[in-house]
Amino acid sequence: MIWAWIAGAVAVLILAVVQSKIKICLSFVHMEQNDEIRIDVRSLFGLIRYRYIVPMLRFHGWLEGLELKSEKTNPNNGDFQGESKRKIDFDKIKKAIDNFRILLNNCFKFNQWFRRLLSHFHCTELNWKTSAGIGDAAETAVVVGTLWGLKTSLLGYIFRTIRLETRPELQVMPVFNQNVFMTEGICRLHIRLWHLVVAGLQLLFRILKIKGGLRAWKKVLLRT
In a domain, 212, yes or no: no
In a domain, 74, yes or no: yes
Please say whether the beta carbons of 44 and 56 come within 8 A.
no
In a domain, 159, yes or no: no
Give the pairing of strands 34-43 and 48-59. Answer: antiparallel
Angle CA 134–140–143, to nearest 5: 100
In a domain, 100, yes or no: no
Q: What is the phi/psi pair of residue 217, to 5°?
A: -65, -45
Q: What is the pTM of this model?
A: 0.77
Q: What is the pLDDT of residue 199?
A: 92
pLDDT band at 96 (very low <50, low <70, confident <90, very high): confident
Q: Quick: pLDDT tens for 100-145.
A: 999 999 999 899 999 999 999 999 999 999 988 887 778 888 888 8
Q: How far is CA 63 from the centre of its chain?
A: 26
pLDDT band at 176 (very low <50, low <70, confident <90, very high): confident
Q: Quick: pLDDT tens for 44-87.
A: 776 778 887 776 666 555 555 566 666 666 665 555 555 666 66
How many structural domains does the chain have?
Answer: 1
Average pLDDT value for residue range 167-172: 88
Hey, which bits of the chain come out as E strands?
21-31, 34-43, 48-59, 66-74, 79-88, 122-134, 163-164, 169-174, 179-192
pLDDT top residue among 15 and 61 = 15
In a domain, 174, yes or no: no
User: Looking at residue 27, what DSSP letter applies?
Assistant: E
Bridge partners of residue 183, in order along the sequence: 30, 130
Which domain range does residue 50 map to? Answer: 21-88
d(CA 102, CA 113): 16
Residue 203 reports pLDDT greater than 90: yes
CB proximity list for 110: less than 8 A, separation 6 or greater: 103, 104, 206
User: Looking at residue 165, what DSSP letter applies?
Assistant: -
